[in-house]
Amino acid sequence: MSFTNQIQAVAYCRTPYKQKFGIPRQPGLVSAARGFVELAPPFNQIDTVRGLEQYSHLWLLFCFHENLAQGWKTTVRPPRLGGNEKLGVFATRSTFRPNGIGQSVVKLHGVHSDNGKVRLEISGMDLLDGTPIVDIKPYIPFSDSIEEAAGGIAQEAPVLARVTFCQAAQQQLELYQKSDNYPRLAELIIGVLAQDPRPAYKKAKADPKLYQVALYDLDILWKMLADGIEVLELRPSQVGISAKLEKSDD
């Protein structure tokens, strides 16, 4: 069967996440992450979202736009299994899918319409900045939440790492937090790093390597110590340069 209608982006997601490394592996894990879904023409009309405010959460169907050129895989190595075991692509939420489509549930904070633009204010997203949204649907609690559902390899929430800031990083954090450009910055950094975005086989292990995640227009430099993660520096982003530091690829 072939589709006669071509799928197009109805919106684009604006998020603090500027690179893949550091993005939570599931939605809702970092509630401090705030952003917007900006509707694209010809869908950026207030009538397309009339009544949406009555819902607290939304389903976003989106495109893994940075993975499409790499194609899809029949089997993948889920990070939860440490990259040591393969599962079928349809038994995971891998980005390497035949049609490159993902879904996430996000919290809706408001609907804004100004200067000809319609934006949905959201939080808890796990999407790269600029991700194309192909559909938006309301989350329906009585049907979308199933208490007895089995979660397979992802039944339990991830164990969180302890996150601290060295003195210099703490001072930098306090300066950046004075700006409205970085809402809930401390909570965001802690929430992202507490997930330990390194490859699964490195979990709970001290690591001498320097890591970096890009949030907003900042680079966050950190290391994994024996007792948790320490943030070493916050600095203006050099994505493309600083991203060359050690990163995960799972």
CATH number at residue 64: 2.40.30.70
Evaluate whether residue 6 is within a structural domain: no
Q: Do 93 and 131 lie in a common domain?
A: yes
Could you give the dihedral angle defined by the CA atoms of residues 183, 164, 213 and 198, in that order, rounded to the nearest 10 degrees? Answer: -140
Q: Do 55 and 115 lie in a common domain?
A: yes
Evaluate whether residue 16 is within a structural domain: yes
Evaluate whether residue 4 is within a structural domain: no
- The model's pTM: 0.87
> If pLDDT is split at 50, 70 and 90, which confidence band does 246 have?
very low
Q: Do 108 and 188 lie in a common domain?
A: no
Tell me if 195 sits within 8 A of 29, measured CB to CB.
yes
Whole-angstrom Cα distance, residue 194 to residue 111?
Answer: 30
Q: What percent of the chain has pLDDT over 90?
A: 68
Q: Do 38 and 136 lie in a common domain?
A: yes
Q: Chain-wide mean pLDDT for the chain? A: 89
Q: Do 23 and 117 lie in a common domain?
A: yes
> If pLDDT is split at 50, 70 and 90, which confidence band does 93 have?
confident
Evaluate whether residue 174 is within a structural domain: yes
Q: Do 171 and 103 lie in a common domain?
A: no
Q: Do 192 and 226 lie in a common domain?
A: yes
> If pLDDT is split at 50, 70 and 90, which confidence band does 239 have?
low
> If pLDDT is split at 50, 70 and 90, which confidence band does 249 have?
very low
- Number of domain units in the chain: 2
Average of pLDDT values for 207-227?
94
Answer whether residue 234 shows pLDDT above 70.
yes
The CATH number assigned to the domain holding 164 equals: 3.30.2310.20
Residue 224's domain spans which residues? 158-244
Evaluate whether residue 3 is within a structural domain: no
Q: Do 212 and 173 lie in a common domain?
A: yes
Nearest to 67 by CA among 18, 28, 16, 101: 101
Residues 6+ apart with CB under 8 A from 59: 103, 104, 105, 135, 136, 137, 138, 139, 144
Answer whether residue 242 shows pLDDT above 50.
no
CA 71 from centroid of its chain's CA atoms:
21
